[in-house]
Amino acid sequence: MQTTFTDKNGTHWDLDLTFETIRRLQTWQYSKTILNHHSLTAPSREMLTILLEDAGALFEMVWSIIEPQSLVVWPDLTIEQREVEFLKGIGINEIEKVREVFFGVLGFFSPEVSMIQEFHQQMKRNSLETAKRKLEEAGDEVQKKVEAELEQQIQSLTAEIENLSIADALNSQEPPELNLAT
């Protein structure tokens, strides 16, 4: 099982959860995490839902796990500065990877975690497929509307051309070109 991820700056972080880490998290003075009301060793559905749906809560939890590692990376910074530097390394591409690694590790403590994570991923896939289908349908409708508008404009121009009389053509301000070379 993979317990590490790499941020966008190339820094490797390890989310391996030991019981010592869990004990540290439960008493950590900087902890504002949902651990104040929930347990990592027996995660509730409410906690798992929060961590799956709220990236801020997830990364608060992840930061609390990897904080000691940040001392090695940024030894001269305060804890607050190290947290900012850590979060700077997390981009859109890293969020799903971190979520996958975190829930993989958490799954060792509770088999239900894997079930809930799979359910969440399936819902996400279904939502993406629905959004894609709706965009494709909208694209087809837009194309049909554009084609209908073009057809209407072509018919309108054709009607105008057909309604022009020879007299209108002769009365136009531009004289016709005469080819007298023959």
Which tens digits make up the pLDDT trace of 156-167?
777 766 666 555
Q: How many domains would you assign to the chain?
A: 2
* Amino acid in the structure at residue 126: N
**pLDDT of 43 over the 70 cut:** yes
Check: CB of residue 104 under 8 Å from CB of residue 1: yes
pTM over 0.75: no
Of 90, 109, 128, which residue is a domain's last?
109
Residue 103 lies in a domain: yes
Residue 180 lies in a domain: no
**Residues near 182 by Cβ (< 8 Å), separated by ≥ 6?**
none
In this prediction, residue 155 carries a pLDDT of 79
Strand residue runs (E) in the chain: 4-6, 12-14
Q: Are residues 11 and 78 in the same domain?
A: yes
Q: Which domain holds residue 156?
A: 112-167
**pLDDT of 19 over the 60 cut:** yes
Of 93, 109, 125, which residue is a domain's last?
109
Tokens of 20: 């010592």
Of 66, 88, 109, which residue is a domain's last?
109
Q: Are residues 142 and 58 in the same domain?
A: no
Residue 174 lies in a domain: no
Q: What is the pLDDT of residues 86-137, one digit of tens each?
A: 999 999 889 989 988 988 888 877 777 666 667 667 777 777 788 888 888 8
Give the other-Cβ count within 10 Å of 51's Cβ. 27
Residue 56 lies in a domain: yes
Q: How many CA atoms lie within 13 A of 109 on its CB side?
A: 16
